[in-house]
Structure 1
């Protein structure tokens, strides 16, 4: 008689993992495909679980969890996806129908920067908010089918709304992105109508959040914007420069509410309760109160909710006395969250959160223990193991999303780790105290100020490291490729025979790459005269003087980060003159960064002071920096050692009034620089009329180097280009921009005229140097 097969022994910590993966797979397959695929995926997972029970392939509890979870996910998620696919708003969105909807807001309005030359740099002109449809009026017919919709609305009228408020909105529908449960995007026209009052807890939370924002104004602008973002995810006042630097440094997660915030807050509460000798159940109850309060304070955002569910499961484990149940808590949170909101199945933030937490549970403790066994102090061992484990585990996902690998992320996270917790706790306390005593709240903010300042310093210095991030293939392929590389490296490191070889390869790579990429990177080239900075869809041109570290800057691009990075790479410390060709956002967006980081002699503008908001912003920033604001007119001549500037235009034009974008473009300052590389014509964004004014005024516009007008738009006259007759044409343009810049016809005309055309979207920063036979170029490839 055959003995019964022995049951497979599975680590109890892993028994919910297959069920969690099955639920996640059902959501992922359904969102990327359709509801039948979701049902089939769930049915297949259930079949695997049933076979596992029958054949004793694994522990019965593990298989039963799969058998139970998979069909529930197939039915629940499949039904949700089917409902979303059949919603009448989807077909109306394809036809771009004008509709009226009644909806309840499910998130706080989040400010977004609108693209374009007239958009305010760093300012918020529109908000995005998620809502649940109650009814929809389209083509004279009312539909009461529920569904999720994204509203893109004017900031002025919508920014102060709160979750739970019902509104009526009018606008035009547009299709939602693939892989979401959202049925459509509504581009709202006008203010909300028939607005109901927000729930009392939402109003109370907003009072606390606004109190924190108000108290934070006692700090300098950048820390004042960072602290609310760090504490409750409020990014309304956050500097775009800080955002860009944190992304490069691998610190972007600090700006979003996550499980780390809850862990810090609940940990502080638990520590306080244990000081007063409160038992495990009392500690869990106190932490639960703190958890719920923080969710209300931060708002019901997806990242907050997923962190809260994880925290709730962990607290339940604490009550039951199972302190080593972090991995089951993670698996249970995945099941609960994905069943509640299947859209998380394709949410990159959710995937990053799960993978990072799994790495901290599975790898960080072992690596910390291994370091302790080798004599590393306990605190330092954990400080090393935690960021390394999280960074390596999430690297394939980050690369798949961004197409870049941060080489400074681990070190940057180690440096900021000691200050995140105190800054978070002090910020929460300031928010709670602010409605009662503003002075006490400001004092708490002042105590959190050095921590916020340190975060900004680390992010800035890390992002300034040469080659702080490197390009890598993006998407699924890039992520899988990096995962294979990391697994291969880990396998080689674990094997004793190949560990020495791997270490030698790494040391060799450092020895070769550091001198060539960091110590002597080959940029900037010697004796450069002009550099067109890669600042995206905007302009920033640097003109060298004969004095090292001094250069004239013409325009600052749309954002602070790129122009600051370009000047840093060039070694520019002093800017005797900063010229703003005109006041559109893609030319003035980086002004604050230049004024803050460089010694600026004066800021010069042309005759146009429009749009008015931009003029007021330039006046405010220059006044705050103590820098003179001067006006240049045609005929002026300015000289520095090795550089002369002629102001050629605008010629014969009156300053525009109002927000006529074409008139503002045609009023751009037109400069001709005399450099060691020859004459350089800087044209701002002048279009056909501005070019005709110059030619009609018999202005000599000939030059060896041309900064092509208006990012290479189609509004460049062939006769104007023929009069310039450049040998080198620089096009400052953003990659994948929505304007179709640069225009192919214009590029062809330049090429036929004998010009070498260079584009910042493809060539990166581009330097022009003097040569024996004329100007030559050196490109800093992206």
Structure 2
């Protein structure tokens, strides 16, 4: 699968699931003979259902996410998107912050207790957090660090936070090496390292320009943002530019909301009649949090889509960022560390932006359909063989990862008109649907923006010529397109430009079809789908894969 999309099999493999059962019969023909007991999962579902019923899918969903983590709560897509664009996703993900809030409240109550009851109380709070949020890597990291730090403090020793972090990460990876690839785990560790290594120096530097309270408030989210920036570029290709002010704005709300939501969740499964007592105060705080997230997400350039960078470029960018990530290193290397760092980051961004500005063609074949993205000087256009919502969602994820703010135009080749027009309209202001006769292209017409042009070859098929910059490609999505194009050739119509840059087929051709296509004078021939052994000059995407390269 394409790295920007992944696949269900890859996601399941990271969870330790290696087999999948596909049932061809109707659901009524399948009967569950036995189901293993899942008390912890049942408890989470009861808590989430109670909060959702009490305050609705948006407010109740946010409250449930503050307790259980957004990974196990059915949050509305619009809410997830608002928090993501505003740089507030961490607030809804079970993490060290939520454990810190819970432990702080518990220790405030048990501070004067003898050591044994106090330790039991802290251990109970950490186990409760692990039970509610589940053994996600970021949760296990937070609990393990909390347990080690608490044990060190109770023994009268002075803890070393960085040592605790490194020891916790090492133990986790020894037990489960696959967690290293978990994005949530990577972000959690990076943010934690930023708070330990960078926040204090940032606070001291900002204290000369800001009030003490403001310097402390800005330093924490700024340090976390700096440390997670390389991972943002590597995995998402986006930078939430308003993340620091957004985190400052919501900070006073998160602690009371988290504690209140945890209390409400416990009450929901122990004393349900008392749950309405939490409804009004929690509802008002949640409404304000939602409003702030939506307001920051709606600001101009709330999310800078720069496109996903290559790992080597991200590594170079990280090296350039080191003098700011570890201020002690910058001081030790005197005056030349930061100029060199700025140069490395500028070089990285220059190479990355130059790659985005080239003439590129990407074909993604997934779930039996195809997405073709043509890029010219940083802009892009899209062709999709399917018009369903899943294809639209995949196109949206590709756009974000490729740094495409909006497609210049979209051509849907599906003969069935789309039922998800709003989704496609969200990607481009100009969407042509072949299933809707009123908006389909006819021979002699063309769909064109600067450097990107699409022209149909026949009225009876989906055959097109796509020109990217100065490089024309022949697109034949199905066998009907091949037959219609051959019919035009037989009738003497000059249907093709004189110099084709490439040919794309939406199917694996048979021997006779391949011979007929040899008249297309191009060295590059791409095929979507599985093809066991394509001959020289042909490339196949596989049953779930992609083809990418320069258009020329």
Common fold: TM-score over 0.5: yes
1:367 Cα deviation from its structure 2 partner: 0.9
Alignment correspondent of 1:563: 399
Q: Contact 2:320/2:343 (CA < 8 Å) preserved in 1?
A: no
1:414 pairs with 2:216? no
- Which residue of 417, 433, 439 corresponds with 1:603? 433
Distance 1:536 1:153, change over 3 A: closer
Q: What is the alpha-carbon distance in structure 2 between the residues aligned to residue 516 and residue 377 of structure 1?
A: 39
Which residues in structure 2 correspond to 1:460-539 (within 5 Å)?
461-464=302-305, 466=306, 470-473=309-312, 486=322, 493-495=330-332, 498-499=334-335, 501-505=336-340, 532=361, 538-539=370-371
Alignment correspondent of 2:38: 198
Distance 1:280 1:592, change over 3 A: farther
Secondary structure at the aligned position of 2:141 is classed as: helix
Structure (1 or 2) with the greater helix fraction: 2
Distance 1:404 1:205, change over 3 A: closer
Number of positions where the alignment pairs a residue of Structure 1 with one of Structure 2 = 503
- Which residue of 46, 50, 64 corresponds with 1:207? 46
Secondary structure at the aligned position of 1:599 is classed as: coil
1:342 Cα deviation from its structure 2 partner: 3.9
1:709 pairs with 2:545? no
Secondary structure at the aligned position of 2:433 is classed as: strand
Alignment correspondent of 1:150: 17
Alignment correspondent of 1:721: 517
Alignment correspondent of 2:388: none
Alignment correspondent of 1:35: none
| Residues 538-583 of structure 1, C-alpha deviations (whole Å, 9 max, x = no match) | 4235699xxxx997855567341223676946773xx4x6423468
- Which residue of 249, 273, 291 corresponds with 1:450? 291
Q: What is the alpha-carbon distance in structure 1 between the residues aligned to residue 178 and residue 468 of structure 2?
A: 53
Alignment correspondent of 1:374: 208
TM-score (norm 2): 0.63
1:455 Cα deviation from its structure 2 partner: 7.5
Q: What is the alpha-carbon distance in structure 1 between the residues aligned to residue 46 and residue 343 of structure 2?
A: 57
Alignment correspondent of 2:412: 579
Distance 1:533 1:211, change over 3 A: farther
Q: What is the alpha-carbon distance in structure 1 between the residues aligned to residue 141 and residue 348 of structure 2?
A: 41
Alignment correspondent of 1:347: 179
Q: Contact 2:463/2:476 (CA < 8 Å) preserved in 1?
A: yes
Q: Contact 1:360/1:390 (CA < 8 Å) preserved in 2?
A: yes
1:232 Cα deviation from its structure 2 partner: 1.1
Q: What is the alpha-carbon distance in structure 2 between the residues aligned to residue 483 and residue 679 of structure 1?
A: 40
Q: What is the alpha-carbon distance in structure 1 between the residues aligned to residue 311 and residue 6 of structure 2?
A: 28
Secondary structure at the aligned position of 2:549 is classed as: helix
| Residues 609-637 of structure 1, C-alpha deviations (whole Å, 9 max, x = no match) | xxxxxxxxxxxxxxxxxxxx558889777
Q: Contact 1:563/1:590 (CA < 8 Å) preserved in 2?
A: no
Higher relative contact order (CA 8 A, sep 6+): 2
Q: What is the alpha-carbon distance in structure 2 between the residues aligned to residue 634 and residue 382 of structure 1?
A: 59
Secondary structure at the aligned position of 1:374 is classed as: coil
Distance 1:490 1:720, change over 3 A: farther
Which residues in structure 2 correspond to 1:629-708 (within 5 Å)?
645-646=455-456, 648=458, 669-671=462-464, 681-684=474-477, 686-687=478-479, 691-692=482-483, 695=486, 702-704=495-497, 705=500, 708=503
Which residues in structure 2 correspond to 1:227-246 (within 5 Å)?
228=65, 232-234=69-71
Distance 1:365 1:561, change over 3 A: closer
Q: Contact 1:711/1:742 (CA < 8 Å) preserved in 2?
A: no
Distance 1:422 1:285, change over 3 A: farther
Distance 1:232 1:515, change over 3 A: closer
Alignment correspondent of 2:372: 540
Q: What is the alpha-carbon distance in structure 2 between the residues aligned to residue 637 and residue 236 of structure 1?
A: 51
Q: What is the alpha-carbon distance in structure 2 between the residues aligned to residue 123 and residue 514 of structure 1?
A: 29
Alignment correspondent of 1:762: 549
Q: What is the alpha-carbon distance in structure 2 between the residues aligned to residue 674 and residue 366 of structure 1?
A: 54
Q: Which runs of 5+ in 1 are unaligned?
A: 1-114, 132-148, 158-189, 606-628, 652-668, 750-758, 767-776, 778-782
| Residues 377-433 of structure 1, C-alpha deviations (whole Å, 9 max, x = no match) | 33443345445655666789x59xx96797947x66534533378467276567567
Q: What is the alpha-carbon distance in structure 2 between the residues aligned to residue 515 and residue 598 of structure 1?
A: 27
1:263 Cα deviation from its structure 2 partner: 2.2
Q: What is the alpha-carbon distance in structure 1 between the residues aligned to residue 23 and residue 299 of structure 2?
A: 34
Alignment correspondent of 2:95: 258
Q: Which runs of 5+ in 2 are unaligned?
A: 25-29, 386-390, 541-545
Q: What is the alpha-carbon distance in structure 1 between the residues aligned to residue 226 and residue 237 of structure 2?
A: 11
- Which residue of 133, 141, 145 corresponds with 1:306? 141
1:745 pairs with 2:536? yes
